[in-house]
Amino acid sequence: MLGTIVNTACIITGTLIGTFFKKGLGEKYTKTLFNAMGLASLALGASSFVQNMPKSEFPVLFILSLAIGGVAGTALDLDGRVKRLIAKRGGESFANGLISACLLYCIGTFSIVGPVLSALQGDNTFLYTNSTLDFVTSMVFATTYGIGMILAAPILFCWQGLFYLIAKLASSSPLLQGTLVNELAIVGGVLIISSGLSILNIKDCKTLNYIPALLVPVLWFLIKSLF
């Protein structure tokens, strides 16, 4: 769990630093930094997709995952419910910022594969790399949305902790011997791209509605293991 603890600490530290410098940045520079995070999201999402797609044994699974997950999330109105809940405390803009930050921190190759490698091999390389990225990103988000962005830290800790525990408990499971991690990274890459489009105000895809898509590969491998 050391890598996850470091990652969480980097988000907290970055948020505090960004909040401190918030008043010193003009709107022009804040917008520039935010656009930079949007572009970084697109790059990271595309990288995750491109790197893992050739390793996939089921190239159409991510399409089915997005379709099924998107329908389920829309039916549950996940995006709307979460935004309304957060907006009650910090406003709509803050809600959008916190959701974008959490998606960028959590739904990516490093945050999915990192805890798994840490649990199975004791390798924290991915998590340390993710910590560096999140440190910079958290500063940028904090300059726009303030200290409230620190709420993303415990969310990241729980998210990575969940993958760490699952990997520990299922270390001998055939699920982790196949391409499940790759499939999750592919879907995660698409979700990060979606988040980047939202940050850049190009298209609000209501990314949270697609979060259930991450469950589809898991269910697919569970069903496949029974036959």
| pLDDT tens-digit series, residues 33-58 | 778 878 888 888 898 899 889 988 88
Query: Structure tokens of 193?
Result: 């791209």
Q: How confident is the model at residue 24 (pLDDT cuts 50, 70, 90)?
A: low
- Of residues 188, 129, 140, the one with CA closest to residue 37: 140
Most confidently modeled range among 116-120, 141-145, 150-154, 214-218: 150-154
Q: How far is the C-alpha of 169 from the C-alpha of 156, rounded, in Å? A: 20
pLDDT at residue 132, rounded to an integer: 86
Q: How far is the C-alpha of 23 from the C-alpha of 169, rounded, in Å? A: 46
pLDDT at residue 115, rounded to an integer: 87
pLDDT at residue 221, rounded to an integer: 84
pLDDT at residue 205, rounded to an integer: 87
Full DSSP string of 11-28:
HHHHHHHHHHHGGGS-HH
What are the φ/ψ torsions at residue 17 (nearest 5 degrees)? -65, -45
Give, to the nearest 10 degrees, the angle between helix 180-199 and helix 27-52: 160
pLDDT at residue 198, rounded to an integer: 84
pLDDT at residue 178, rounded to an integer: 55
Q: How confident is the model at residue 109 (pLDDT cuts 50, 70, 90)?
A: low
Domain ranges of the chain: 2-225
Indicate whether 63 pLDDT > 90.
yes
When comparing pLDDT for 68 and 102, which is higher? 68
Q: Give me the chain's average pLDDT, please.
A: 84
Q: How confident is the model at residue 72 (pLDDT cuts 50, 70, 90)?
A: very high
- Return the minimum-mean-pLDDT range out of 33-42, 66-75, 108-117, 138-147: 108-117
Residue whose token pair is 């988040």:
195
Q: What share of the chain is helix, strand, coil (3-state, %, to 5)?
A: 85, 0, 15
Per-residue pLDDT tens for 161-217?
A: 988 888 787 666 656 555 777 888 888 889 888 888 888 889 888 888 998 998 898
